[in-house]
Amino acid sequence: MRKFVLLSCLLIVSPNTFLSAEEDYWQQFVHYTMDVTLIPVQKALIGEETVRYTNNSPDTLRKFYMHLYPNAYRGPESIMAKEASRYYRTLVEGPDDAGFLRIDSFKILPPDSIGEDESLTAFKINDTILEADLPRPLPPGHDMTVEISFFLKIRKFLRRAGYRGNQYDFAQWYPKVCVYDESGWNAEPFHYQGEFYGEFGTFDVTIHVPFEYIVGATGVVVEGNPGWELARVDTSWSYSEWRDARQQKRLSMQKGAQNGKVRTVTFHAEKVHDFAWVTCPDFLYESGEWDGIPIHVLYRSHVKDRWSKVVLKRAARALEWLSAKFGRYPYPQLTVAHGLLGGGMEYPMLVMNASERESLILHEVGHIYFFGILANNEWKEAWLDEGFTTFQTRWYMETKYGKWGQDRETSLKQANWLQRHRPSKTRRERRRDSALAFMNSDHNEPISRISYRFNEPLAYSVNAYTKGSLLLDMLKYVVGDSTFEKICRAYFDRWAFKHVNEERFKNVCEDVSGRELDWFFNQWLHDTVTVDYALADVGKHKVKGNWYTEVSILRKDRGKMPVEVELTTESGETFLKRWHGMHESGKVLFQTTSKPRRVLLDPNDAVLDKYRLNNGPLKLEVVFDYPNMSYNPRDAYLITWRPSGWYNSVDKLRIGGRLKGRYGASRNAGLGAWYGVDSKELDARFTYSNPITPLGPNIRGAAGIQKMEGRFEVDAHLAYSGGKFIAHPPKHRFWVGFNHSRLLEGKGDRYTIREFDQKTDTTLTTWEEGVVNNLYFRYNYDPRGLNWFSNLSAGLDIVLDDWTSDFDYRRAFAELRFWLPKNDEGVFLRFYTAKVFSSERAPLQDLVFLEGANPRERFKRFYLRSDGALPEELHYHLPGGGNVRGYYNQPIFGDQIVALNLELRNTFRPQLFGKRLDKFLGETSLVAFVDLASMEFIGSQNDFFAGAGLGLRFQNVLPDNWYTLFTGGRHVTLRLDFPIWIDDPLPNENAVRFRWVFGFEQAI
């Protein structure tokens, strides 16, 4: 299929077709005249709209289409809501949150209309598209008029528009004409993934709001007063002076509004394809200009300290930058408004931003160029607006702040210890790493694809934003910096205020650069290639005082890019040459006077090479293993180190540490060693894992060996992990492996934990001697619904004594966990069953324990591994087995179990331990639980056990700070359970009694 697409592109698109396509270019013209009134008490807007529509196409039109975007938020039946539910997202929570656009009257007056009787009032609505037959066909060059009255029920703010408090953001809010272009009508419903496409024209919009509301919009004010002067921040006054004066004004405005006084303002905009506006009584206003172009800034008063002056300055810089790189900002104003949304969103002449961040301002104002002036079809070719915008933002940030692409000095001043010391990535590295991770997965998709056809939102954003922006970096690399800048200006000159697409952009690139670029655009936009060049051989020889270096290069993957070769000589000089990179191998020759020292391919990391360890001599980089470190050097194998230590009764203090190595997500190695101060024992562990490339990107192989606290273990396994999505469940995980374990003779016994059974007056050793050779299978699956989560795991162990095992048993288990969390309440369920099949008894460490996890599972936690590591008095409960927590002091085990655990949870915000400790403990939940289990041991009678009680949960996400070094991560859970009743207590205990257990994880 892919080949067919490529081929047909090549066939259809020859340079001649480009030229004629550009000469034949046409676009429709629309003139909207609207009169709209906001009624805040009803959360509604009523409007009258007249559209004068001019058919500039060579076709006679018989139909007419309009977008009714707000209807996507009408309820769960809309196309958008259904698509959102694929990713487990409920779009509209309830009817109070919903919004819609109702057409109260609709009339098409045909061209040269003379009377009412010829008009058409019939229309159909399908999801967000209004469709009408024209009363008479509209021939080329003619125009007609559409008259509409509409009622907009404004939704509670969702995605890009709606109300919150007394602010209203109006985006995609009115009946909007669908684009008719060379592909026909673009009557595409509003999808969950994908944006917009609009017809260029003129807007005259008259807005009526209560008098106290301040208004910002696309266009310039031609009549009335938007209220800016009433809200203007005089930045020369002190804050308190200004605030008092502002209070006076607010009061008089409120009084005016109460008396029914209305603010009416008319905006006029030309050469735009959309119209958006914002209004709020709490807006403050500042204004400035760049090179004669007025800039308006509107923000809510609580962000005054952050927005004042800064946003104006940054908006002016954005205009200056964009004007210099592409073409002078062509509109008569720019408004930056403090929107209700989380990030930012662009409209012609108006951007809505959540914050004053410089890169956000550059991004959104940049969109006025890429989507606004150079108006691509955003749901068809999103990379043309998001890719360009992301690219130019990074270009600006790197030009201003160097390689970090951000104001690193200022951010370091505000950073904490961890953030200052931990190596981090530049803006460019973050983008590149996320693109490469996606491209190396089995979910890679081509950049140019209809937005709603991308498999998931992550695929849409990586392609449109990340890969789309890197494509432009690579284009710049291919054609050279100065040619690229010429392309940017030519693209603007040729296509401003028109609809652009891939062919039109490519044509500009080819015309300006004089190069054929089909190979480049096809490969990156319509294929899913990855790139890997490798340094094969470096031959050096000296002839008559000159050094000749012959560099052989291999292309190891399908992706083709010109590749730079850098030669560094002994004298420190560097030389750069380019190989075209199209063939499977090639040579580059250098002539130098000084002896060559080092050769490196793609020294500027410009071609998205997925594996750079073969680009030059191997480098190692050693850094401390900081928490939450996402550092990934591209040219070196990373080694991290961290000391660690703990205590047990045999070693007393154990001290040591571990080294970890990786290159991206591959070649993961781990080496740890610990020394027991008292026992003089040296323990060590080595592990290695790597994707098994021939089997596909989802399969990893892993092997490990350890001598650890009296036990010896060797493990090797294959692991598969895959699913329909990258960022969403369900995922299937499967492991198959072999495990050898044994207690070390003469040494191991000392470490094992002994439990005293009061009922039988015996002491149990929880790890038995003998070799266990286990062939194991594990499976895990995590389906979920809109409101529920689940996890299923199952496993099989096959231990046969003829494999030199000292035991002979098979063990099977299945566990199903189900959660129904709902706001503050939730239900949590766990079902567990296990059975050990054997002629003789399996070792104790592999049996099923009534209270929780068995000794083999507990061995994986360093603090539960050996005697004395964690004081027994703490009653640490590790979930597993029967999970009947009230039996923590009774070592009951068996070879067959069916268990059920149920928890009802209520989350609340109590004041328990004072402000500081409460904040540290985080979200607090009260839990009521019941645990039931039926157990059997080697053919004995079925025994039934039960327990019930109450528990407390504290869950917190800690700030990214130094103490995560000790907590093992940012997510911290503390659990205290009080199993006050059990059905079969110890002889000296009552059934109902104060008991407690404690843990670092949820019980279910």
- The binding site for Zn ion (CB under 5 A) comprises 386, 389
Q: How far is the CB of 472 from Zn ion (least distance, A)?
A: 14
> 759, 767, 842: which is closest to 800 by C-alpha?
842
- Give every CB contact of residue 741 below 8 A, 6+ residues apart in sequence: 711, 712, 713, 714, 771, 772, 774
Of 341 and 478, CB closest to Zn ion: 341
Of 78 and 461, CB closest to Zn ion: 461
Q: How far is the CB of 156 from Zn ion (least distance, A)?
A: 24
> 338, 341, 336: which is closest to 351 by C-alpha?
336
Q: How far is the CB of 468 from Zn ion (least distance, A)?
A: 10
Of 161 and 265, CB closest to Zn ion: 161
Cα separation, 450 vs 378, whole angstroms: 9
Of 213 and 465, CB closest to Zn ion: 465
How many contiguous H segments (helices) and E segments (strands) does the chain have?
Answer: 21, 51
Q: How far is the CB of 314 from Zn ion (least distance, A)?
A: 16
Of 218 and 766, CB closest to Zn ion: 218
The two tokens of residue 764 are 């149990």
Q: How far is the CB of 469 from Zn ion (least distance, A)?
A: 10
Q: How far is the CB of 363 from Zn ion (least distance, A)?
A: 6
Q: How far is the CB of 195 from Zn ion (least distance, A)?
A: 9
Of 272 and 870, CB closest to Zn ion: 272
C-alpha pair distances (Å), 831 with each of 43, 707, 897? 48, 34, 11
Q: Assign residue 560 a region: left if phi > 0, alpha if psi is -120 to 50, beta otherwise?
A: beta
Of 365 and 927, CB closest to Zn ion: 365
Q: How far is the CB of 365 from Zn ion (least distance, A)?
A: 11
Of 363 and 422, CB closest to Zn ion: 363
Of 78 and 389, CB closest to Zn ion: 389
DSSP for 442-505 reads TT---SSS-GGGSSSHHHHHIIIIIIHHHHHHHHHHHH-HHHHHHHHHHHHHHHTTEEE-HHHH
> 773, 651, 649, 670: which is closest to 712 by C-alpha?
773
| Ramachandran angles phi, psi of 733, nearest 5° | -130, 135
The two tokens of residue 568 are 């560094």
- In sequence order, what E strands does 211-349 have? 214-217, 220-224, 262-272, 277-280, 283-290, 293-300, 334-338, 344-347
Cα separation, 123 vs 106, whole angstroms: 8
C-alpha pair distances (Å), 417 with each of 74, 81, 165, 413, 422? 48, 44, 38, 10, 8
Q: How far is the CB of 346 from Zn ion (least distance, A)?
A: 6
Cα separation, 18 vs 33, whole angstroms: 36
Q: How far is the CB of 464 from Zn ion (least distance, A)?
A: 8
Of 214 and 349, CB closest to Zn ion: 349
Of 195 and 903, CB closest to Zn ion: 195
Of 13 and 450, CB closest to Zn ion: 450
**Single-letter code of the amino acid located at 49:** E
> 752, 979, 779, 786: which is closest to 888 by C-alpha?
979
C-alpha pair distances (Å), 312 with each of 133, 235, 279, 331? 48, 12, 19, 17
Q: How far is the CB of 559 from Zn ion (least distance, A)?
A: 26
| Ramachandran angles phi, psi of 65, nearest 5° | -130, 145
Q: How far is the CB of 465 from Zn ion (least distance, A)?
A: 7
Q: How far is the CB of 405 from Zn ion (least distance, A)?
A: 17
Cα separation, 774 vs 801, whole angstroms: 10
> 267, 91, 66, 64: which is closest to 193 by C-alpha?
91
| Ramachandran angles phi, psi of 50, nearest 5° | -125, 130
Of 190 and 887, CB closest to Zn ion: 190
Cα separation, 917 vs 914, whole angstroms: 6
Cα separation, 405 vs 428, whole angstroms: 7
